Amino acid sequence: MLITTTKENLLTAINAVQRAINPKSIIPLYSCIKISVAEDIAVFTGAGLDISIECSIPVQTLREGIALIPARTFYDIVRRLPDIPITLEHSDSMELTISYEKSVFSLKTLPADDFPAMPVFSAGMEFSVPAETIKKLIRQASFAASSDDLKAIFTGILWEINGGELSLIGTDTHRLSWAKGTVDINDNDAKGSFIIPAKTAIEISRLMLNDACSVKAEKNTVFFAFDNIKISCQVLQGSFPNYRQVIPTAFITSLSVNGSSLRDVTERISLFATSSEASSTIHMEITDDILSIYSRSDIGFGREEIAIAREGDDLKISFNSRYISDVFKAIEGEKLRVRFSGQLSSAIITDEEDGSYLYLVLPVKV
């Protein structure tokens, strides 16, 4: 293998594929980057136990070939190179030579024969989503997923296709975030679902630029393709809870509130809700057309009031402060609808002007 390319191209490819790599893996292959050169394209591949990523970059090819390179060391060298053309040469002596002008580095490589091949899609569900849409949906759903690996299925996001509509749902059993968008699909009657880790979905969204994303799903693997990147990831096995059953349909109190005001007040009052289990709570009191939010902890006390338009009963209710603050990562509207089904029952937060997002949160007992 003998190629010349730019430092920018090399860093683009390395930064993309190393998201699949576990640098602490006891299996050497899984801490390496594979480079395959054919014609004037170099395909960089990183692989983990449950995800593989390919990134293609343009190169000037003098000799085709394949090399398997330790990812961490390769990255550390490339990111310190000057912004001039870089030459990579892989020889039969199992060394990669990195050179420019009068400088040269040599890096030991591994045999590439046993590197896992990128899975190939055979048959299943296929659709396309604009990058802007899929990034938004992942952002809106992922924060509600669990970070507890012992709750494996809840560390994932459910992707559910119903004709031209895509729903992404994340839940840790204390809250639920449901985001919807439209997709381009050949069969408007198509239905299907799969679950992938929330962490994987976040990494996918970070790699996207502006092109549409092609999604192909079969029983055990989901494939994403966009820009110059291809990703395959293993689905999480198990049954996702029937999220529709937990969403209440009857409410005792409903209020309309300015979204910016609620966000700002919640953030300020949350400063008084410390991280200890006993005091990480904010309290809400709805009386007439006023919503009072307050919290007390070892550091002090804070209370603020917001004007609202209310329907239904007066109410006192308490929530984990982070669970209320987190929703503002996902909801963007200036007018929010907050509905309460009871003092100890779930509350629903939605955008009054956009029906594509719903957030459910359980209260805490005090």
Report residues of the chain scoring pLDDT below 70. Answer: 275-279
Distance CA 362, CA 17 (A): 38
One domain, residues 67 and 134: no
Closest among 109, 135, 138, 123 to 32, alpha carbons compared? 109
The helix (run of H) or strand (run of E) holding residue 337 is strand 335-340
pLDDT in tens, 285-307: 999 999 999 998 888 899 999 99
pLDDT of 209: 85
Closest among 229, 210, 204 to 43, alpha carbons compared? 229
Q: Tell me whether residue 26 is in a domain.
A: yes
pLDDT of 92: 82
CA distances from 146 to 60, 94, 193, 274, 280 (A): 45, 43, 19, 21, 18
Listed in order, strand segments (DSSP E) in 124-234 are 125-129, 156-162, 165-171, 175-182, 191-197, 213-217, 221-226, 229-234
Q: What is the DSSP string of 34-79?
A: EEEEETTEEEEEEE-SSEEEEEEEE-EEEE-EEEEEEHHHHHHHHT
Q: Tell me whether residue 116 is in a domain.
A: no
pLDDT of 114: 86
What three-state secondary structure class fits 88?
A: strand
Task: Look at residues 206, 227, 244 and tell me which one is the last residue of a structural domain.
Answer: 244
User: How many separate domains does the chain show?
Assistant: 3
One domain, residues 133 and 144: yes
One domain, residues 92 and 135: no
pLDDT of 275: 58
Q: Tell me whether residue 119 is in a domain.
A: no
One domain, residues 181 and 131: yes
pLDDT of 44: 98
pLDDT of 276: 58
Q: Are 20 and 47 in contact (CB under 8 A)?
A: yes
Domain of residue 186, residue span: 125-244
Q: Are 224 and 212 in contact (CB under 8 A)?
A: no
Distance CA 158, CA 143 (A): 13
pLDDT in tens, 37-68: 999 999 999 998 889 999 999 999 999 999 99
